[in-house]
Amino acid sequence: MRGPEGTLDARCSSEGTTAHDRSGAERILTGSEPFWIPPVRPDGRPHVAPPVAVWHDGAPHFATGLDERKAANLAGNPDGYFHHGPGRAPVFAVTPRGVLGFGKGEPFGRTKGEQALPVQQFIGSSSVWPSAVGAGIIGVCMLSPHRHQSLPSPAPEVDVSGSPARSGKLRRARTAVASATAFTAAAIGLWTGLGGTSAQAASAVPTPDHVIVVVFENHAYSQVIGSSSAPYINSLVSGGANLTQMYAETHPSQPNYYAMFSGSTQGITDDSCVTPGFSSAANLASEQLAAGRTWASYNETLPSQGSTTCSSGNYAQKHNPWFGFSNVPTSTAKTFAQFPTDYSTLPQLSFVTPNLCSDMHDCSVSTGDTWLKNNLGAYATWAKTHNSLLVVTMDEDNRLAGNRIPTVLYGQPVTAGSTSATTYDHYDLLRTLEDGQGLSAHAGNAASASDITGIWAS
């Protein structure tokens, strides 16, 4: 099957579609020149639930489980909006500007970071997607092995007015080699042909002796990084690594904690207290313990070690996802008073949860910054000379910045003063922590996430 001039050839099939969307797939397949491209992670691995692009009625569209109303919203926005696939898998984006970007973030959040770059550009359309496209993932395409030649240039201007553009040509692409024999091989060919790089060429994640992850609350990147209210955190930026395009998964707080700990929100959509041990899903702690490694959490104002209470003073269970898992011993949840002064006795991996004031939720950025300096500053200094790592991140933003959050990494394994503008999220951080611990298993969406790279000391 062939798309309009200048597009990629593809062979499409409705095989593997679920019962509820098979009829939608068949309708698209018999429609007006459907053209699908399977998106791919930068390291070449396909997504767990890959969305697909559909060339329909002379314009590219996406089948990612969207309803028609949301599709219209996306297609009609001239500023570059995009949408997650199922399970919040990253997807390419299509807008009236004609740009297909690769990215992650809140549904319909503004394009940011790497996906704002011209991964592949089409002349887009502001037309509403056919309702059949909104039925869900409807198929997989293999790239044709003879395609990926240099494409025509110069290309026409992209219409940014929101009206349908007049051409289906690619504005710019590079050569690539792909195989029609396997989805993964085809996906790798597509990405590398468009200027991406494979994980095999990226720096390996180091293996620190000790890692501490501390999570603050409800502030956007710009409220912390470069702010005079956070001098200590910004000193960690200068001496460590700054992820400038890091994004949370959703709102409110609690599902983000579950995402960064288990690779899934586990169906949680609010901040209500959970039934302790409600899930037996794999998570960072269960993987760590199963591998014979050490784990603990240190929770400020937790009434007592292992307490599963919902709330107590400034303590809130919603910020401690480990209590939701039956495969994480409650005894590994310690009070912050139990945080050791001899850092060599720390577990190989631990989370630190400040209370509702110290974490900037109820109190100021300055309060949280001072708390971090006073309570973990000595560890950070020690980590610089003891192959250890401090990760400072945020659960979510203030709902005003597309869920872009500050994340800083500091310690001997990190190149001082380094910056990464790659788009990452909580699942990528989880994947990086797992790989840094040498774990062979990956929880939930971490299995299809990317390691954080480009910041590690050689």
Tens digit of pLDDT for each residue in 385-422? 999 999 999 999 998 888 999 999 999 999 999 999 99
275 by Cβ neighbours in 10 Å (0-12 / 13-18 / 19+) ranks as exposed
Confidence (pLDDT) at 422: 93
pLDDT of 324 strictly over 70: yes
Q: Report the run of H or E that residue 247 belongs to, with start and end.
A: strand 246-247
Summarize the confidence of residues 248-262 as an average pLDDT. 96
pLDDT of 81 over the 90 cut: no
Strands 52-56 and 10-13: unpaired
CA distance 310 to 344: 32
Asked if the model's pLDDT at residue 362 lies above 60, the reply is yes
Residue 276 token pair: 């302790």
Q: How far apart are CA 82 and CA 78, in angstroms?
A: 11
Angle at 145 between CA 140 and CA 149, to 5 degrees: 110
Cβ count near 200 (within 10 Å): 7
Most confident of 12-16, 144-148, 356-360: 356-360
Mean pLDDT, residues 444-451 taken together? 92
Residue 368 and residue 226 in contact, taking contact as beta carbons nearer than 8 Å: no
- Residue 334: pLDDT band by 50, 70, 90 thresholds? very high
| Nearest-angstrom CA–CA distance, 94 and 37 | 12
Would you say residue 49 has pLDDT above 90?
Answer: no
Lowest average pLDDT, out of 34-48, 165-179, 199-213, 351-365, goes to 165-179
Confidence category of residue 55, pLDDT binned at 50, 70, 90? very low
- Lowest-pLDDT range of 31-35, 103-107, 167-171, 203-207: 167-171
**Considering Cα of 354, then 369, then 406, then 287, what sign does the dihedral take?**
negative
Buried b or exposed e, range 359-368, using 16+ CB within 10 angstroms = bbbebebebb
HSE of 175 in the Cβ direction (CA atoms, 13 Å)?
4
DSSP type of residue 434: H
Mean pLDDT of the region 237-244 = 98
- What pLDDT does residue 402 have? 87
Q: Are the C-beta atoms of 44 and 198 separated by less than 8 Å?
A: yes
The structure tokens listed for 411 are 């310690």
- Quote the CA–CA distance of 339 and 191 in Å, as a whole number: 45
3-state helix, strand, coil in the chain (%, to 5): 30, 20, 55
- Encode pLDDT of 178-234 as tens digits: 222 222 222 222 222 222 222 322 348 999 999 999 999 999 999 999 999 999 999
The pLDDT, as a whole number, for residue 357 is: 97
More confident residue, 121 or 272: 272
Indicate the range of 23-32, 131-140, 267-276, 376-385 predicted with least confidence: 131-140
Average pLDDT, the chain: 67
* pLDDT at residue 95 in the model: 31
Reported as a pLDDT band with limits 50, 70 and 90, residue 103 is very low
Q: Which is more confidently placed, 351 or 69?
A: 351
Higher pLDDT, 453 or 145: 453
Please give the structure tokens belonging to residue 201.
């060429």
How far is the C-alpha of 316 from the C-alpha of 241, rounded, in Å? Answer: 30
Question: Average pLDDT, stretch 322-329?
Answer: 98
- What is the β-pairing status of strands 210-216 and 388-394? parallel
Cα separation, 339 vs 343, whole angstroms: 9
∠ CA 38-40-41, rounded to 5°: 165
More confident call, 305 vs 143 = 305
Res. 327 pLDDT band, cuts 50 70 90 = very high
- More confidently predicted of 343 and 11: 343
Pick the more confident residue, 131 or 230.
230
pLDDT, position 204: 82
C-beta separation of 123 from 168 below 8 A: yes
Buried b (16+ CB within 10 A) or exposed e, 166-179: ebbbbbebeebebb
Question: Is pLDDT at 19 greater than 60 in this prediction?
Answer: no
- Phi and psi torsions of 433, nearest 5°: -65, -45
